[in-house]
Structure 1
Amino acid sequence: MISEKLGLSKQETKLSMAYIYVAFISLLIGGLMGLLQTLVRSGTFTLPWGIDYYQVLTVHGVILGLVLTTFFIIGFQYALINKTIGLTVKQRKISWVGFWIMLVGTIMSSITILLGKASVLYTFYAPLKAHPAFYIGLALVIIGSWVACFVNFRQMFLWRKDHKNEKSPLLAFMVVINMLLWFIATLGVAATVLIQFIPWSLGYADTINILVSRTLFWYFGHPLVYFWLLPAYMAWYAIIPKIIGGKIFSDSLARLAFVLFLMFSIPVGFHHQLTEPGIDPMWKFIQVVLTFLVIIPSLLTAFSMFAMFEITGRKKGFQGIFGWVKHLPWKDVRFFAPMVGMLAFIPAGTGGIINASHQLNAVVHNTIWVTGHFHLTVATTVILTFFGISYWLIPALTGRKLTADINKLGMIQTIIWTIGMTIISGSMHIAGLFGAPRRSAYSTYSGTEQASEWIGYQYSQAIGGSILFIGIILMVYIFIKLAFFAPKGIEEFPIAEEEPDAEPTPKFLENWKLWIGLTIALILFAYTIPFIEIIQHSPPGSPPFAWPIGNN
């Protein structure tokens, strides 16, 4: 009876929950690794049993940055698209194949890291070399995610075939856009892993072209950020309005923002390589310009959200310039957690502009400032929104209720997370301005002029990391309560409707051939010539994808 009211079958809810189980297990493991890192960097703790700091750092980055996010996003998106346009039995069976491929790949990579055979960090830059199983595991995770991509594409294709000349459901449209972004972006990392790293790690190749590998990684690495962010935007655009008793401000604007993210988030990887030799400065400048274009859909989203907040408040009778703020359900964790994430995106976006600016990037490049930026964007904006989603999604999928007590615990968890992240991210930003390095356990560097400045901020990071780990333990406890022990019942799957007087959505916004074609054209424009130049300027006699690296 519960699944019928949800519009989701029991088999469909199990599929989404399988992904989400892996995500929360990853949260606990990755969070523990993060705590250990901050304690080591404070200089007050030594890792036991011969564990290497860079093992811990690699686990933290891979498990949280790739495993947690990808599994949660795919599980969440399956729930959204299955709810809005449906899933056939055949598609569901294929979806499970994708899940098991991803899980096997995750386990393979995780074991190699834990055994100390893959301490290559989240970016796995050459000439750092991992065990072949690490790269094979990464390849399997990507292949498994591609299965989810093509299932979602097939779902949309069949829906459009049966509903000609109809506007597709907004959330289904958003899911397909995000999976298109993911598929196109992962082609880069798949290429470097399959063509370069696996043969090299197996001993079939003696050399590797480092600049090619980094370029292919960052072709993937920056759109990865938007793959994380767009599911949060899905919740902001189409879920939060329902929770606060409002309606979607503009279906057209929401679709336009997602289309712009698809086009402008991929051909921008060079802004992560501004200090790399071998890339023409002109192409770096072009990709920096394209990076700044991504600000446009972010501003569209901010305008849309606050317009929706204000319209909803005024319809409820709240007057004055900021009277509408009073109507917001600040005591409802389904709103409160994502709202804190939204507000955190203001300084996070500002930091992103600094990172992508050539001269300012030179000040903070490879300092712990960049780590602080990641913790504001992914670990605050994205993760708090994912937590907010979990408070209604998990009970909706498991047939349980979000009780008042769990809601209260969620409010406490959000506050703890915000305090911990403010301390750790703030101290990372400040220490980075003093030149404290990222990716390093040796953050005090005694004898340098900056040492006295850095060390206080390392203690702050340890304090912030400890508070965050308390927040992780509490969130895992809440997840277990919601999934297994909360009272049984019907929990709302909150999908908002559009404003009745909104302008009709232009049909061209669903012209998939147009948007995919423009995206490919931008990618070819931004990468073809510089990539050819990178290969042409390789050392004499080197194969196109090889670069001598000695015995490193």
Structure 2
Amino acid sequence: MTAVITKDKKVTHNNKGNSKVISSTKVDRKDAKLALAHIMVAFIALFVGGLCGLLQVLVRSGQFKLPFGIGYYQVLTVHGVLLGLILTTYFILGFQTAAVSRTAGALSNKQRKTGWVGFWIMTIGMLAAATMVLLNEASVLYTFYAPLQAHWIYYLGLTLVVVGSWIVGLAQSLRYIQWRKENKGQTSPLLSFMVVVNNLMWFVATLGVAAEVLFQLLPWSLGFIERIDVLLTRTLFWYFGHALVYFWLLPAYMVWYAIVPKIVGGKIFSDALARLSFMLFLLFSIPVGVHHQLTEPGIDGFWKFVQVVLTFFVVIPSLLTAFSMFATFELRGRELGAKGVFGWFKNLPWNDVRFLLPFIGMVAFIPGGAGGLVNASYQMNQLIHNTIWVTGHFHLTVATTVVLTFFGTAYWLIPHLTGRKLTKKMNNLGIVSGILWSVGMVIMSGAMHIAGLFGAPRRSEYSTYGGSEQATEWISYQVAQAVGGTILFIAILFIIGIVVNLLWFAPKGEEEFPIAEVAEGAEKTPALLENFKVWGVILVALILIAYTIPLIDIVQNSPLGSKGYKFW
């Protein structure tokens, strides 16, 4: 069998002379519009959420007061929701739409319409929730912890965001299913497979937060329920909340596994290893949320221990990924003539923003992952629980590893979708933006980690620290956070400028959507890795083992009894 590239499609020819289109070298123009709509909302969220983040660190430094009666927790909620939920979800769904169209083929008209329906449901929900936050009716942080209560429109808005994301993910998954039917017996495109795994994980995880909102928070805020069980709401949230981290992370892994090897001129080290790591993330990302609740009474210590053990299993696919990526880098370096143990390092394309920013993200995940092990450990968690250490950890993992990879991806994806070129000037400005982001994050996140070890609280503004001697020790670290946050906002201005250029002003042309091929000699991918029925059964079993008894205990021992639910 041979393969040839036509103008925009890759075609295979078998020995009988028959041919079949197996992938497109370009994202379909109609699909590109859907992907771009998501990406544009994501970068609007970046600017507004980043501005609120700057205001936060300035307030925490003690040198700035919010004007016009704006509350600290108001901007904190805007920052958390826009960057933690909106920026990430919209960018991920936009990228995944483009990835499926590029590797599995253009969406059908019905699939594309489904995607647009999901997009508009998400956007309506986002605007509704944002309105309530701006009116100071929903300053409950992005975790929306009870007993803090938001306006019912806020909860409904976030519910619409989740439901809309399900619909967009459904459109992507239907295209993958169609490809499997059209190409029976063949291994599916790696990127499309990864998209489906991430969508499945997202759907299963968000069932927890959907149950929390629909059956507890929303009826409570409407007055249909007198009281709610706070421990139950927190448990349902963290059933979702930890898997959310992997919903952020897996698209970055998609870029690392399938796209970065092409950028460096190499090949995918192992298709089977990449699929295995994604299936392991699917299994071990959801039944682990209780490790965020180690200090809370009401959950038996045995079940906390079970979920801590499951949490540490996530190290396995992370190490598989690290091995695969650095094996790819070393093999490519040696192809270019590198000698010695680390000679390959200098042969990487450091002047290419498409590589540099994801690589910085990979490096940041080393201390970020180590901090995650601290968070999930019984004794060490006692020291840092609910301190600003945890915030620093999130800014290393999500706001550096994930977001820098997203930025590096956007710099080639946007011109590919708009029919423009990533010029050398924009490439260099992108490198500057990545360096500024990295420097700002080292300063801000580093100060957060250190202040957290001294006991600085996670969410409090400067004015609540009082005049204690301990609070005095924190002040210098709060100032450092303000310095780092200011540098980060300058980086955001660079990033927004580059995005605007790539959307409307860059010269017309064709920018590659790079997809790497699998290395020769790599082991054939076992069909088991694409058997979602088997992995789905294992996933459900793990969830039932980890959560059935704890949830029964919480409900049976609830102080509400029958008094909680009184519907009018």
TM-score with structure 2 length normalisation?
0.94
Match of 2:484 among 464, 468, 477: 464
For 2:288, the equivalent position in structure 1 comes to: 268
Deviation at 1:283, TM superposition (A): 0.2
Which amino acid letter does the alignment assign opposite residue 10 of structure 1? Answer: R
For 2:273, the equivalent position in structure 1 comes to: 253
Give me the whole-angstrom Cα distance separating, in 2, the residues matched to 1:502 and 1:420. Answer: 40
Which amino acid letter does the alignment assign opposite residue 158 of structure 1? Answer: Q
For 2:520, the equivalent position in structure 1 comes to: 500
SS at match of 1:8: coil
SS at match of 2:462: coil
For 1:286, the equivalent position in structure 2 comes to: 306
Give me the whole-angstrom Cα distance separating, in 2, the residues matched to 1:133 and 1:444. Answer: 29
Match of 1:326 among 329, 341, 346: 346
Deviation at 1:347, TM superposition (A): 0.3
TM alignment of 1:389-468, pairs within 5 A: 389-442=409-462, 445-468=465-488
Residue by residue, what CA displacement relative to the aligned partner does 1:102-145 show, whole Å, maximum 9, x if unpaired? 00000000010011000001110111011111000011001101
Deviation at 1:413, TM superposition (A): 0.6
For 2:230, the equivalent position in structure 1 comes to: 210
Whether the 8 Å contact between 1:108 and 1:137 is mirrored in structure 2 is yes
Whether the 8 Å contact between 1:333 and 1:388 is mirrored in structure 2 is yes
For 1:55, the equivalent position in structure 2 comes to: 74
Deviation at 1:162, TM superposition (A): 1.4
Deviation at 1:296, TM superposition (A): 0.4
Q: Does 1:69 align with 2:124?
A: no
Deviation at 1:157, TM superposition (A): 1.6
Residue by residue, what CA displacement relative to the aligned partner does 1:295-322 show, whole Å, maximum 9, x if unpaired? 1000000000000000111111111111
For 2:244, the equivalent position in structure 1 comes to: 224
For 1:19, the equivalent position in structure 2 comes to: 38
Give me the whole-angstrom Cα distance separating, in 1, the residues matched to 2:7 and 2:464. Answer: 56
For 2:263, the equivalent position in structure 1 comes to: 243
Unaligned runs of 5+ residues in structure 1 are 547-552
Tell me the matched-pair count: 546
SS at match of 1:282: helix
Match of 1:367 among 387, 403, 406: 387
Whether the 8 Å contact between 2:61 and 2:462 is mirrored in structure 1 is no
Distance 1:529 1:324, change over 3 A: same
Give me the whole-angstrom Cα distance separating, in 2, the residues matched to 1:111 and 1:524. Answer: 38
For 1:304, the equivalent position in structure 2 comes to: 324
Give me the whole-angstrom Cα distance separating, in 2, the residues matched to 1:38 and 1:182. Answer: 31
SS at match of 1:450: helix
Which amino acid letter does the alignment assign opposite residue 505 of structure 1? Answer: T
SS at match of 1:122: coil
Whether the 8 Å contact between 1:538 and 1:544 is mirrored in structure 2 is no
Give me the whole-angstrom Cα distance separating, in 1, the residues matched to 2:358 and 2:173. Answer: 28
For 1:128, the equivalent position in structure 2 comes to: 148
Deviation at 1:381, TM superposition (A): 0.4
For 1:549, the equivalent position in structure 2 comes to: none
Deviation at 1:444, TM superposition (A): 6.8
Distance 1:259 1:518, change over 3 A: same
Whether the 8 Å contact between 1:31 and 1:469 is mirrored in structure 2 is yes
Give me the whole-angstrom Cα distance separating, in 2, the residues matched to 1:333 and 1:356. Answer: 34
Residue by residue, what CA displacement relative to the aligned partner does 1:325-351 show, whole Å, maximum 9, x if unpaired? 111000000000110010000000000
Give me the whole-angstrom Cα distance separating, in 2, the residues matched to 1:540 and 1:473. Answer: 50
Give me the whole-angstrom Cα distance separating, in 1, the residues matched to 2:464 and 2:76. Answer: 17
Distance 1:92 1:42, change over 3 A: same
TM-score with structure 1 length normalisation?
0.97
Give me the whole-angstrom Cα distance separating, in 1, the residues matched to 2:367 and 2:513. Answer: 31
Whether the 8 Å contact between 1:3 and 1:10 is mirrored in structure 2 is no
Unaligned runs of 5+ residues in structure 2 are 1-5, 10-23
Give me the whole-angstrom Cα distance separating, in 2, the residues matched to 1:252 and 1:370. Answer: 34
Match of 1:90 among 110, 122, 130: 110
Which amino acid letter does the alignment assign opposite residue 169 of structure 1? Answer: P
Q: How big is the alpha-carbon RMSD for the aligned residues of Structure 1 and Structure 2?
A: 1.4
Give me the whole-angstrom Cα distance separating, in 1, the residues matched to 2:25 and 2:116. Answer: 21
For 1:520, the equivalent position in structure 2 comes to: 540
TM alignment of 1:38-187, pairs within 5 A: 38-86=57-105, 87-187=107-207
Give me the whole-angstrom Cα distance separating, in 2, the residues matched to 1:12 and 1:492. Answer: 16
Distance 1:540 1:112, change over 3 A: closer
Residue by residue, what CA displacement relative to the aligned partner does 1:432-458 show, whole Å, maximum 9, x if unpaired? 000000111136724323122100000
For 1:358, the equivalent position in structure 2 comes to: 378
Structure 1's consecutive aligned runs of 4 or more residues displaced over 4 angstroms after TM superposition are 1-6, 543-546
For 1:9, the equivalent position in structure 2 comes to: 28
For 2:218, the equivalent position in structure 1 comes to: 198
Give me the whole-angstrom Cα distance separating, in 1, the residues matched to 2:485 and 2:200. Answer: 35
Whether the 8 Å contact between 2:224 and 2:565 is mirrored in structure 1 is no
